[in-house]
Structures are given as structure tokens and as C-alpha cells.
Amino acid sequence: MTPRRILLVRMGAMGDIVHTLPAAASLRYSFPAAEIDWLVEERWAPLLEENPDLTNVYRVRSRDWRHVLHVLGELRQRSYDMALDFQGLIKSGLLAALSGSSEVLGFQIATLREKFAFVFYDRQVAAAGAHVVEMNLSLVRATGAALQRLAFPLPHPAELTLPERFFAISPSAGWEAKRWPAEFFAELIGRAAREWNLPAVINCGPGEEALAQRIVRLAGPAEPCVIQGGISDLVALVRKASAFVAGDTGPLHVAAAAGTPVVAIFGPTSPERNGPYSARARVLRPAGVVTTYARSEDASAIARISVEEVFRALGEVLESPR
């Protein structure tokens, strides 16, 4: 039976939401008359603004139980035929089940980040493919969707004053093992300024001000500028940048989704699973590094990638046709 109303549950974070966008696009392509809603944490909802594949975006503050109950009341009025949990957490599975959907779909237990989430699913789906984008499309196919559309619609960019030509960096990341050293970023900025006369712009998210200013100080005469703002500012930055350099972090995936050439610097996390989903990406990772997502890991693995390697990769993507 063709579903009339579908709920997607992917609460966060930035990169994970970007990697779920083709799932929504493929559902819309397969079921053009369906109403497709998305449940997301309030802070990440701007990523879904103006998304042509969605009917409604429900914002939730998951740590505010009164707000959660209010949103659940709205969801239950929608009478969903299916709810798809792309996140694989107890929280996301529970919310999908409490939405009142006739059926809840999630991944098989081996794929789940929190194994107990499986108790909320009516149907478990095997995750096919190496990359999380492909895994998400496995869940879409389980709805009966026969068509696939690899689209990454992004919100409208803000108006920003930026250099005519520049490359951008995003030096922070979720935990230490994914952060290339600040002094390496500063050296990269200095070399690009000296050898190519190419200025740099630093993307600065909330709480990243000290790191951004440290790189500015270390870069000295290269004088990179700092852009700090919301998601629409990030979209404006990546759309205008000639290239984007970052570790395994949300802004990297926004840049890849925008079609910007990217240099991705990976440590212990897997680029095959979580790398930029783009033909215009150059991925660097140390040989022999053990894949782990343990947040207790330090930055010793990612620090093995030299400034020279990143500088060469940046030169390659800058020369690629845009």
C-alpha cells in the first residue's frame, strides 16, 4: 500500500541530517502525493528550512519533557502510516513509537548505536551499503519506494561580505580525535597566502571562538577572517568558497552537499562510512589507523597527516573544474 503520511526521525546532528537528506528526496520522488514530515532537534531545524521534499518540520527540545509531550500530541494527530528511525537511539526509537504511527521501521540491531532501540520497531531493516547515505536509503526501500534521488537541498544562504576568492576551514569537531591541530591549520593558511595569494576564512560555530582566535594569532600576517553565525551563514560561506578544509565534522558535509570541493582530514573515524558523499572530495587518512568512534581517543592519529599533504590536496581540488 502506498503510504499517505510518513514521519522521518533524525534528531541530529548536522552531518547526520545532511546524510539523511537523500532519504527524504527519494521518498518524495517515489511517493509524490505523500505527506512527509521530519522530527528534529530544534537547534538543527534550520538545516531543513525550505526543503522541497518535506511537508512539515517538527522541532523538539528533547530535554524539555513538556515540550516533547506537546510535539508528540501534534504528531499523533497526523496518523502516520510509517515512522522511520534513522538515528538508532533509544530516544529516537521511543519518539517514533509514541508518534502513533501504524508502523515503525528501524535498522537491525547490529547497526544500532543503542541496541535497545530495537524494541520500538515493528520492522527491522538490514543496512546495505558502506556509507551512511546508502544505509539510510535501505530504510527508504523498505517502505516500498522504488526510486532513488541523491539530492541534498540546503536552506537559502545569508548575505555575507566575503573575499572575492578564498578557501575556508572549519577547525573544530565533536571530539579531540577528529580535530587536526590548530597550528597545522595556521601553517596551511600561511602557505596558501604566501604561495598562492589565497586568503582563508575560518568557520566558527558556537563555543569555538577561542580556537578560531588562536588560529588567527598563529597565522600572523596571513590574517584569516572569522565568520561566526547560524546555519544560513555557513551555507553562504561554503557556496562561495573555492574549497573547504575540515575534519570529520558537520560543516564538511554541508560543504560537500553544496558541491564545494573539499579536503577531508580523517583520523580514527571511517571515511568509507562517514566521509563526504561527493565526487569532489579529497580524503586524507593516516595509513594503518584503527577505526574507532571512541570519544576517549586523542588526536595522535589525525596529527600524522602533515601540512604538506593537506596543502597538496588543497591545490588539487582548487584546480578541479567547479
Q: Output the domain CATH number for residue 239.
A: 3.40.50.2000
Spatial separation of the C-alpha atoms in residues 223 and 6, rounded to whole Å: 49
- Cβ-Cβ contacts under 8 Å for 102 (sequence gap 6 or more): 79, 80, 81, 82
DSSP summary character for residue 291:
P
Q: How far is Cα 229 from Cα 303, in angstroms, rounded to an integer? A: 28
Which sign does the torsion angle of CA 9, 60, 209, 193 carry? positive
What is each CA distance from 149 to 73, 90, 112, 322, in whole angstroms? 32, 29, 24, 22
What's the pLDDT at 320?
75
What's the CA gap between 47 and 292, in Å, rounded? 28
Check residue 122 and give its pLDDT: 97
- Position 146 confidence tier, pLDDT thresholds 50, 70, 90: confident
pLDDT for the residue 322 = 62
**Half-sphere exposure (CA, 13 Å, Cβ side) for 108?**
8
Predicted confidence (pLDDT) per residue in 180-232, tens digit? 999 999 999 999 999 999 999 999 999 999 999 999 999 999 999 999 999 99
My answer on whether 19 and 128 are in the same domain is yes
Q: Could you tell me which of 103, 104, 144, 106 has the C-alpha nearest to residue 125?
A: 106
Report how many domains make up the chain: 2
* Residue 147 within any structural domain of the chain: no
Same domain, 208 and 84: no
Can you give the pLDDT at residue 273?
94
Establish whether the linkage from the previous residue to 13 is cis, with ω within 30° of 0.
Answer: yes
CA angle in degrees (0–180, nearest 5) for 256-130-239: 5
Q: Kindly give, in sequence order, each residue whose CB lies less than 8 Å from that of residue 18, ignoring residues fewer than 6 positions away.
A: 47, 152, 250, 253, 254, 256, 257
Range of the domain at 189: 167-319
Residue 236 banded pLDDT, cuts 50, 70, 90: very high
Domain assignment present for 159: no
Residue 321, pLDDT score: 65
* Domain assignment present for 280: yes
Q: How confident is the model at residue 147 (pLDDT cuts 50, 70, 90)?
A: confident
**Each residue of 105-138: pLDDT tens digit?**
999 999 999 999 999 999 999 999 899 999 999 9
Cβ atoms of 196 and 163 closer than 8 Å: no
CA distance 84 to 82: 6
Same domain assignment for residues 135 and 173: no
Please state whether 100 falls in left (phi above 0), alpha (psi between -120 and 50) or beta.
Answer: left
180: in domain: yes
184 CB contacts (<8 Å, ≥6 apart)? Answer: 303, 306, 307, 310
Average pLDDT, the chain: 96
Same domain, 125 and 177: no
Give yes or no: residues 314 and 184 share one domain. Answer: yes
